[in-house]
Structure 1
């Protein structure tokens, strides 16, 4: 088992260097004395350009971080994932979301059987999507799923939907079990013109099943004689469970793909429905291009690796506990929420791969909103608050709308915020003083094309993987989501019966107040 980052010879050197930088490093001075700083800390990758030069690190820090990564066997761990080894040890599974976007004939020979299944399912799913897109009788599509089965497709559909609203059907997403989410959607629909997509890998997620059953009951009550098989489709690894609900049209998922990595699979049917088969294949191609970059680029020129090294540097050595995500594109408004799940569910762990408690922090708290909305909400804290919060700006060079003046103003704001965080502004009036020397990263896409979105998501996936490899944790299980679900199954009948025996006083008191 490779060592954790804090067990490498580079770690004490990094601690000493970080301590010195916390007390004496100034970004403004660093740019003044090093004309090549932007060039050194910029990185071109497929469909993405990243400027990491406004971060609180220097060449020495990056050299030590790279040494640490090599000592942790990051390259070996990366290669094991691509080769299909069972790196998800707690569940005994391979991690093969990269196979979902691997072109036909390009998969490793050892994964030929899985690759054949992937392409058969992909083609069947895309054929179905095109048939339904062309069906004028279907005007609305309701996507029911939660977690990765909901966040990923919703984020991608919003990102890729044409600004002129020319998608053939209206797309609706329902994830929350709260009836206030589902009922307003159903109220606006006509059963005979609606298609329901139910996504659940094991077809046992209670929120999804509850919403699916309610949708079925509504359909059967209002669409007399209509065929459930025509209006409901399941995306699942358990078609037998879907059949028990009367859903006979199914597309398969696999246990070697976690939900938060599944939008590339049949779970991406909503994306294909909204954007078309060609766009979905382009999304896969963009992700595959980033996979090739991650798999082949040397660590010092590997964008997912450099971002992960920066994450570990900030979380463990500089003491920054959160990261703010600010996409300067309204269509990426769900990206912060998507990245929250990707990173915090993957790396929010307290034990290493051997089950030993960790002595170091893992995933930072991710949060954010699109710019410029965030500027008028929480950027006050970024500029003048007592905490240092690294900001990650994601901008798109070319807009897909034709409104004059808007995009130049948007890009100017993105540039200005990064500049202001670094430069600050001196004032004798403390209320108007901006300390500056605050970090930001800037990721620039040429356009928000399917290829670029695919590359951006894959970039974030691999970044999370590398950070997990450095921390020595399993980034691909999520046991932390289970306990609350188990307790909810016990509490739900108690809400009906009033039985509180065995409950703590707080839970019992709240339950009785809810019943009253």
Structure 2
């Protein structure tokens, strides 16, 4: 499937129609209060469901007819064509001549044999790797896998950076209530020695397992931290009498029991002291910022278990299928993307606030920063020509209600337009009451 040259969105009739619509809204006067008064069905017309998620777009600076204009522009720039190319494994990453196939990471086993890319049965290979990860996770969770002294693992320490850290730590923090094997996780990413010092503080080396996440096993920050973690482990084990300092055989056995890898460079893995059989790989068609549902998520499979990880993958796949099969004018994934284009290019909004009303999602804005700003942080198109529109906003945010006592004043009363996404959950895993008052309801009502 050939990749067509990029369409200059700003030169299309659909862009001109959206500009005309924007000008008309400005001329009429934009008033959400008036729009709600004029249309009793506004919420219903601008609300969508995808999987278990409900999206209410009615508080955005759009009218119901704006959605069709969004869809028309998406069609004009061949979004449907690009989506099909991505899903089928066409090398849409033309600068590196690679497929962009993270959607294959969450396809069900029934799809084996259906997505052959460059001679590789992508789904079959993914499922085989998952089987290995799940078998390992079950061993750690059950206590079959132990540290060098025979004690059960109680803490997993993930060492990575970028997508090898931001995704796993976000998911771990978000799903903490579902950790059910008595195993917790910590995440080290910064080469600043203070990060490793704080993350290893209070750990028992006999019950600690390190997962080193680096596809090439050459990432400067990750390998520096990995060597420092190895030195810490051996020093602490020797101090407790578990091994003898300088006994190479004991030290080698300790490293094999307390370190595993997520990498494809088995030679470097073995040089470090990790058994190559305990290295889990992923492929060059998995971008780092999209990798949390690959072997990069091994720490999550250990902490939450294979069954939960499969549920996680199922959620991804459900949204993949929704996006691929829902008409653009009703496709909330497309519409959310077009809202970003709308605010950035027409309203000139420079930033985008993400405000999760759930403390467990406190790392979600940081995860989105990489996901969006690394993806859209471009000044040229895929053929090397300069872009003709603004390419992205600065994403930032904090959980509510903390932000209400920090920066909401600027959002409400400052001179900048700052689009904001509020994220809330109907139920909480930790229901409490203050007298007769449900605290979760108070939290959301605040």
Give the alignment's TM-score, normalised by structure 2.
Answer: 0.89
- Aligned pair 1:63/2:92, yes or no? no
CA distance in 2, matches of 1:4, 1:106: 36
- Tell whether the 8 Å contact from 1:81 to 1:96 is kept in structure 2 after alignment: yes
Match of 2:216 in 1: 202
Q: 1:228 to 1:73 in 2, by over 3 A?
A: same
Note the C-alpha offset of 1:15. Answer: 1.8
Note the C-alpha offset of 1:9. Answer: 1.3
Match of 1:29 in 2: 34
- Aligned pair 1:192/2:206, yes or no? yes
Number of aligned pairs? Answer: 412
Which structure 2 residues correspond to residues 295-314 of structure 1 after superposition, within 5 A?
A: 295-314=324-343
CA distance in 1, matches of 2:340, 2:200: 43
For structure 1, the residue ranges without an aligned partner over 5 or more in a row are 414-516
- Aligned pair 1:4/2:8, yes or no? yes
CA distance in 1, matches of 2:50, 2:104: 20
CA distance in 1, matches of 2:266, 2:364: 30
Give the alignment's TM-score, normalised by structure 1.
Answer: 0.78
Higher relative contact order (Cα pairs below 8 Å, separated by 6+ residues): 1
CA distance in 2, matches of 1:263, 1:377: 31
Note the C-alpha offset of 1:166. Answer: 4.8
Note the C-alpha offset of 1:64. Answer: 1.9
- Candidates 257, 260, 271, aligned match of 1:230: 257
Which structure 2 residues correspond to residues 61-460 of structure 1 after superposition, within 5 A?
A: 61-106=66-111, 108-111=114-117, 113-135=121-143, 137-162=152-177, 166-223=180-237, 224=243, 225=250, 226-248=253-275, 249-404=278-433, 405-413=438-446
- Tell whether the 8 Å contact from 2:6 to 2:383 is kept in structure 1 after alignment: no
Note the C-alpha offset of 1:354. Answer: 1.1
CA distance in 2, matches of 1:22, 1:207: 49
| CA displacement 1:422-458 (0-9 Å, x = unmatched) | xxxxxxxxxxxxxxxxxxxxxxxxxxxxxxxxxxxxx
Note the C-alpha offset of 1:243. Answer: 1.5
- Tell whether the 8 Å contact from 2:6 to 2:382 is kept in structure 1 after alignment: no
- Tell whether the 8 Å contact from 1:239 to 1:252 is kept in structure 2 after alignment: no
Residue range with higher mean Cα deviation, 2-11 or 283-292: 2-11
- Tell whether the 8 Å contact from 2:159 to 2:226 is kept in structure 1 after alignment: yes
Q: 1:22 to 1:243 in 2, by over 3 A?
A: farther
- Tell whether the 8 Å contact from 2:264 to 2:279 is kept in structure 1 after alignment: no
Q: 1:60 to 1:301 in 2, by over 3 A?
A: closer
CA distance in 2, matches of 1:12, 1:185: 53
Note the C-alpha offset of 1:346. Answer: 0.7
- Tell whether the 8 Å contact from 2:431 to 2:440 is kept in structure 1 after alignment: no
CA distance in 1, matches of 2:13, 2:199: 57
Note the C-alpha offset of 1:256. Answer: 0.5
CA distance in 1, matches of 2:77, 2:402: 40
- Aligned pair 1:19/2:23, yes or no? yes
- Tell whether the 8 Å contact from 1:161 to 1:167 is kept in structure 2 after alignment: no
For structure 2, the residue ranges without an aligned partner over 5 or more in a row are 144-150, 238-242, 244-249
State the secondary structure of the residue aligned to 1:228. helix
CA distance in 1, matches of 2:318, 2:199: 37
| CA displacement 1:254-280 (0-9 Å, x = unmatched) | 110011111111110111111111110
Moved over 4 A (4+): none
- Tell whether the 8 Å contact from 1:86 to 1:94 is kept in structure 2 after alignment: yes
Match of 1:489 in 2: none
- Tell whether the 8 Å contact from 1:201 to 1:259 is kept in structure 2 after alignment: no
State the secondary structure of the residue aligned to 1:398. coil
| CA displacement 1:440-477 (0-9 Å, x = unmatched) | xxxxxxxxxxxxxxxxxxxxxxxxxxxxxxxxxxxxxx
CA distance in 1, matches of 2:200, 2:319: 39
- Tell whether the 8 Å contact from 2:217 to 2:223 is kept in structure 1 after alignment: yes
- Tell whether the 8 Å contact from 1:237 to 1:255 is kept in structure 2 after alignment: no
| CA displacement 1:367-411 (0-9 Å, x = unmatched) | 000011111111011110110101100100011113122110122
- Tell whether the 8 Å contact from 1:347 to 1:363 is kept in structure 2 after alignment: yes
CA distance in 2, matches of 1:59, 1:166: 45
CA distance in 2, matches of 1:56, 1:87: 33
CA distance in 1, matches of 2:22, 2:115: 44
| CA displacement 1:182-224 (0-9 Å, x = unmatched) | 0123232222221000101122211101000111122223322
Which structure 2 residues correspond to residues 474-489 of structure 1 after superposition, within 5 A?
A: none
CA distance in 2, matches of 1:251, 1:53: 44
State the secondary structure of the residue aligned to 2:33. helix
CA distance in 1, matches of 2:271, 2:407: 48
